[in-house]
Chain A
Amino acid sequence: MKDDVIWGLFVAFSTAALFSIGGGSALIPEFHRQLVEVNGYMTSLEFAKSVALAQIAPGPNMLLVSLMGWKVAGLPGLLVSTFAIVVPPSLIAYSTWRAMERLKDAAWLNAVKIGLAPLVVGLMLASGTITAQAANHDAIGYVLTLGTATIMHFTKRNPLWMIATGAVVGLIAHRLGFMTLV
């Protein structure tokens, strides 16, 4: 039974990894389908709590998968899930790198990179907007988001300072009765 769960986690996450384009956050609906709807490993509420917890800890968004593995099957679940989400895409990335080294003087490869760059900027801006909509429940939240974005755009400050400032502002706003808690 336990082995079935471990194998189920491996299949769910490695297939999700291979079809994922655009990183961890884009995969959340697919993870929900696999873990809650298809396999019934966790309830919808447990799933939502895991997503929120993964946001607190630093590191790749993909580590959401490690957390879910932990919730479903403890340490073996965490290790297998992390392996499933990291290794298959890494093999593809490594082969792509080798191919790009060989082709680095090709005009078309250069055009691919230059042509994709504006799409990536648009995509990143969209992630910021979607994350802000999920995180912010009142004006204080938007002030924090815009303030952080402005300061970080014009300085090379360590991002940790901004996170710490956000936490302190949230705490003070709550104590003064301004902060909406969810």
Chain B
Amino acid sequence: MEDLIPQREDARNISLAELCTGFVMMGLLGFGGLGASSQYIIVERRRWLSAKEFVELFAVCAILPGGNIMNATIMLGARYHGVLGSVLAMTSLLFMPLLILVAVVVTYDHFSYLPDVRAAIGGAASAAAGLIVATATKLGRGVVWRAAPICFGVATFVAISYFRTPLWLVIVFMAPPSVLMALWQGRRRS
């Protein structure tokens, strides 16, 4: 499948300033986690990566310890500007959300008794769940949906959402066959 969103041709020449502003935006827009906002900034707005590159980076980050997008932040920073890029990208990502978090904690107790506030937050939380669902369906554009990936994707979804299987168990049992299948299909094509 062709990538729906073309990658920038000068992908290797992203300035430190562009990197930092991108990650600041990603942090500020990251309601309900960074899945939706990272997709929005990295693939749709700034076009640092194609949809296919993004889902593959995400995949590697998901099997490493730590937050998925935080790992991706380190890797993207390193790709464009080495250690300095990693440190600045991570700082840009975390700074504003930390300030907002403290502000929310300090003010929340004064307003949380108001039903209007709780209703608005409830509505925002429902919308945030929708953002995560859309991130999943958009990530799906970066996958070549043959029979094998469909089976592995559906099995992962059912195992985690319905059976609440711990993630490490899913990875131990699903990743090896899925990777071997990809290796085998790659060999057959070439």
A168 lies within 8 A of chain B by Cβ: yes
Q: Whose C-beta in chain A lies nearest to the C-beta of B117? A: A171
* Interface check B59, CB cutoff 8 A: yes
**B residues 155-173 in Cβ contact with A at 8 Å:** 155-157, 160-161, 166-168, 170-171
The answer to the question of A125 belonging to the interface, with a C-beta cut-off of 8 Å to chain B, is yes
Number of interface residues of B (CB under 8 A): 101
A59 to B33, CA, bound (A): 6
- Write the nearest CB–CB distance from B182 to chain A, whole angstroms: 4
A179 to chain B, nearest CB (A): 5
B130 near A146 (CB under 8 angstroms)? Answer: yes
Given A63, A112, A116, which contacts B101 in the complex, CB threshold below 8 Å? A63
B174 near A60: Cβ-Cβ < 8 Å: no
Q: How far is A12 from B15 in the complex, measured between Cα atoms in Å?
A: 37
Chain A interface size, under 10 / 10 to 19 / 20 to 34 / 35 or more: 35 or more
- Interface 1/0 per residue, A143-171 and B, CB below 8 Å: 01111111111001011101111111111
Q: Do the beta carbons of A152 and B36 come within 8 Å of each other?
A: yes
Q: Is the CB of A61 within 8 A of B62?
A: no
CB-CB under 8 A for A126 and B129, given A96-B60, A170-B120: no
- 9 sample A-B contacts, Cβ–Cβ < 8 Å, listed by A number: A59-B27, A59-B34, A88-B66, A90-B86, A116-B63, A131-B32, A142-B126, A170-B123, A182-B118
Starting from the known contacts A126-B157, A170-B123, 12 additional A-B residue pairs (CB-CB under 8 Å) come to A56-B104, A67-B105, A86-B90, A90-B90, A92-B65, A123-B167, A125-B133, A131-B132, A145-B133, A149-B137, A170-B121, A170-B124
